Amino acid sequence: MKAFLSIIIIFVSILSLNVNANDNQAPDWTLKTQAGKSISLADYQGKPVILHFWATWCPYCKKLQPKLVELTEKYKNTGIEIVAISFSEDEGAKPQDSITQRGYQFITGVEGEKVANLYGVKGTPTTFFINRSGQVVFKSTSSNINDPKLELAVKEIIKPA
């Protein structure tokens, strides 16, 4: 019963974030990938997006990423995408190579310090869940892969606009 009540409280807190969604418009940005291709949030207009700020040296990011990939696989028929932004990297880091070596295929923007500042990101990992209307529904700074809020946030952002 306690677990059920906790899930209800979490769900209500996510819904309350969505009530003020007009105030939560995700700022647009444009970055380059490691290969030099330009990417922006606008490229994902109309899609639910998990915007994941991370760094190659971050062990907590490495712990969280499999869960984010698992969630996008579970709900892949909804068009959900992970878009990562690497920032505060060590010199010579190759973020997209790190993602590929881990067996993932999501895109990573590099040198994302300005975008991290734009979103008020203080550390890694920080993950934003953005709905089809471009509104931030939930923000997480946790790497707890068992946190039920992650899947609840995904369920919220995949709803039709």
**Catalytic residue ranges:** 61
The pairing of beta strand 107-110 with beta strand 81-86:
parallel
User: Nearest Cα to 125, choosing from 82, 81, 76?
Assistant: 82
In the three-class reduction of DSSP (H, G, I as helix; E, B as strand; rest coil), residue 77 is classed as: helix
What CA–CA distance (Å, rounded) separates 89 from 91? 6
User: C-alpha distances in angstroms, 103 versus 56, 95, 100?
Assistant: 14, 13, 5
| Residue carrying structure tokens 């973020």 | 95
Q: Is the Cβ–Cβ distance between 21 and 110 less than 8 Å?
A: no
Q: Is the Cβ–Cβ distance between 60 and 49 less than 8 Å?
A: no
